Structure 1
Amino acid sequence: MDWLDQIRWDRDGLVPVIAQERDSGDVLMFAWMNREALARTAELGEAVYWSRSRGRLWHKGEESGHVQKVHELRLDCDNDVLLMTVTQQGHEPGIACHTGRHSCFFQRLQDGRWDSVEPVLKDPDTMYGKAKA
């Protein structure tokens, strides 16, 4: 049996993926992979996701230069969620979020509102040519 066949893909042929920074343990982002994205990730040693908004494979960093080097892939006990340990690489190492922050999980619920608790490390306009908040 192919290792890809052991994954419980959802009805759209996707599996959720959590990207965790190897050195700090920080959760950097959540995304989706289809069979081809996961196979490419394993082959390249770099994160390749399925972009639902673009409707295509998305090699992390293809626009921003913030590539994720993959160290390990783990499958949960139900075979339906992946955990990927990565090193965030690029011109400004440590930027995983399209908002220019270290992590996509930069908003914390405080006193009934979401507050940004991580700084912008690089202006998204300079990474993409337009704002992506």
Structure 2
Amino acid sequence: MTPTLVRHHTYADSSAPVDPGTRARDWAAIQERVLAPLHEAVFDRLEVGAGTRMLSLGCGSGLALLAAASRGARVTGVDTDRERLALARERLGSAGRAEDSGTWAEGSGGRARDTEPA
């Protein structure tokens, strides 16, 4: 599992507004600690690799996509939350996988608008 740090924010006022991007990153860090071992075990069992294509509806911060792409899979992520979708795109890019392995779409309800490949 990749070690991550959860940022601890100190606010004088507990009702202070929080940047949605910061909130998405914090949630991703918590989620990664819990779900990364599960994704790895499932992807081992399913033999996810270079011949795999993965569609993640509600991809969130892209943890499952990152795990699949790191094994050589081509991934597509769809999410209604712009902040989490941006984080997924960024995470895949920083892992050196965005140039040839990711496609992203933002959707709400029943239709998704295609975006440029990540």
- Shorter chain as denominator, the TM-score bin is under 0.3
